[in-house]
Chain A
Amino acid sequence: MLHIPCPHCGLRNETEFHYGAEAGVAYPDPNALTDIEWAKFLHIRANPKGWLAERWVHFAGCGRWFNLWRNTITHEIGPAYLPFTQQPKAPDNIGKEDSKA
């Protein structure tokens, strides 16, 4: 089980959280988009082999959403950060070759 650092509550078990996939996907103006761009916004999320900035919600704790760097090969946990704040750099020691995939 992952141990996930909630920015508000500290280190907790993974079973207290729900997953929210890729972080930092801004909600666009639907009227400004082509059908293809809208389909991409709806359905395409990053699925890299390596470091991924992703969303989690601490539903069994503070109930708040936050973002987390996590490595999808090693399950290593990187820094957590709050939405709408400066994103920390990806930890780059492992899985570097595919982190932009």
Chain B
Amino acid sequence: MTNTENILAPGTIGRRRAAPLPEQPPQLWKSVTPKKAYDVIIVGGGGHGLATAYYLAKNHGLNNIAVIEKGWLAGGNTARNTTIIRSNYLWDESAAIYEHSLKLWETLEEDLGYEMFFSQRGVLTLAHSVSDVRSKRRNFFANALNGIDSEWLTPEEVKKLVPIINISPDVRYPVHGATYQPRGGIAKHDWVAWGYAKAASDLGVDIIQGTEVTGFDIRNNKVHGVQTSRGSIAADKVGLVAAGHSSILANLAGFSIPIQSRPLQALVSPLLEQVLNTVVMSGAVHVYVSQAHKGELVMGAGTDAFNSYAQRGGFHVIEHQLAAALELFPIFSRAQVLRTWGGIVDIAPDASPIIGLTPVENLFINTGWGTGGFKATPGSGWVMAYTMANGTPHALNQPFALERFLTGHLIDEHGAAGVAH
């Protein structure tokens, strides 16, 4: 690589090779043997669980915390998503919590002292039909009322922003317009998890991998600890942050949650020159695509129709997604699919998260992020930490309590977000 090439910033379109990633330090977090007891145990070592532990230590002064992970750190949905970050949700409750998260993203690298390639390259959400235009414009106006940066773009303005997009009117899914959130973008998901893990570990959080929670010590409807594949560990408070496996854990603790676990797939191309420096999403045709730092096209597909824990999905879902992607971006026809994978997402009836208290005292839950959890990582951890430290939800997550399924006050983001949540 020449010096001239090095000057170009990441994300700049041009003939250049991608900048190299910084070297990793040899060890980011300490290896520990579980203690007999903790003040707080977080079950689930993904982005949300690590962020919860970090904010418990940093914002609430707790220093006897463990994160217990069945597999390896951030090996679930944190490693399997398409890293899109935005906050332009329809409903006030969603807009508030995702915007809080986006604001945390904007200072996260400084806060954690760890680079994670957070790139506010903007997120486009395309509209393909008259009704699509109406609902996206409604979304755009709702965002304006909530003070969230959002713009409405005509097809020509979309083309100006993304030169490789096909805005021909005579295709199956023509582009009729788009909402655009300039502050949206992407980040490098592994680095986000490592950043939180390092910062949490530096604050004294024990990160315990390869340890499965197999039960809970519940007496008089109050949790006193967990049983694990490495023995019992006592805890004053326990938080379940296990995404697709939340139903299993809730059942072990003796209650049910309105969650269905489904495979959600994504794929990448080999490393290509930079052709796309905006995130493009289309709920109607089940496409969302960005070009990552190193040059691979990262695309997300839809969820499979059925419940599954298999971390793989049907190939017809990928085919459907690629067919629509090729029509939008004819240039992609010469790219190859390098790899596809699936993650198990936790979907609530209203496609909104469930964050807060459970029927068991001192047992808290954070689940239901479904197909859109990555962008919420900082905000989710922040409100979960507040809720666990204070024993009562923050105003931001109060509307997302389990009780909403009893009161009927659902936060229906299905229609607002489409599949690309």
Contacts and interface: CB of A to CB of B under 8 A. Distances in A.
Given A43-B349, A44-B256, A49 B309 contact: yes
A25 B258 CA distance: 14
Interface size class of B (residues with CB under 8 A): 20 to 34
B406 A36 contact: yes
Nearest to A14: B314
A43 B405 contact: yes
Interface string B186-220: 00000000000000000000000000000000000
Given A2-B314, A14-B314, A72 B405 contact: no
A14 B305 contact: yes
A101 B247 contact: yes
A8 to B, nearest CB: 20
A42 B405 contact: yes
B316 interface: yes
A32 B336 CA distance: 58
B231 to A, nearest CB: 20
B308 A72 contact: yes
Interface string A43-87: 111011100101000000000000000101111000000000000
Given A43-B405, A70-B306, 18 more contacts: A1-B315, A14-B316, A40-B256, A42-B349, A44-B257, A47-B247, A47-B260, A47-B261, A47-B307, A48-B248, A49-B309, A54-B306, A72-B306, A72-B307, A72-B308, A72-B309, A98-B248, A101-B251
B84 interface: no
Given A1-B314, A101-B251, A47 B306 contact: no
A47 B247 CA distance: 7
Nearest to A36: B406
A92 B41 CA distance: 34
A18 B259 CA distance: 19
A53 to B, nearest CB: 11
Contacts of A98: 248
Interface in B244-260: 245, 247-248, 251, 256-260
Contacts, number: 60
Given A44-B256, A47-B247, A74 B310 contact: yes
Interface string A1-44: 11000000000001101110100000000000001100110111
Nearest to A52: B307
Contact of B310 (A14, A18, A72, A101): A72
Contacts of A75: 308, 310
Interface string B358-376: 0000000000000000000
21 contacts: A2-B306, A2-B314, A14-B314, A17-B305, A21-B260, A21-B307, A36-B406, A39-B405, A39-B406, A44-B257, A44-B258, A45-B258, A47-B247, A47-B260, A49-B248, A72-B261, A72-B308, A73-B309, A75-B310, A98-B248, A101-B248
A18 B316 CA distance: 14
A72 to B, nearest CB: 5
Interface of B: 245, 247-248, 251, 256-261, 305-310, 314-316, 349, 405-406
Interface of A: 1-2, 14-15, 17-19, 21, 35-36, 39-40, 42-45, 47-49, 52, 54, 70, 72-75, 98, 101
Contact of A54 (B245, B251, B258, B307): B307
Nearest to A4: B306
Closest 5 CB pairs between A and B?
Answer: A43-B258, A47-B247, A19-B305, A39-B406, A43-B405
A42 B404 CA distance: 12
A45 B260 contact: yes
- Kindly name the residue among A19, A36, A47, A54 whose own CB sees the greatest number of chain B CB atoms within 10 A: A47
Contacts of A52: 307
Contacts of A35: 406
Contact of A15 (B245, B309, B310, B316): B316
B53 to A, nearest CB: 25
Nearest to B256: A44
- Kindly name the residue among A21, A35, A39 whose own CB sees the greatest number of chain B CB atoms within 10 A: A39
A41 to B, nearest CB: 11
Contacts of B310: 72-75
Nearest to A39: B406
B354 to A, nearest CB: 11
Contacts of B245: 49
A84 B257 CA distance: 27
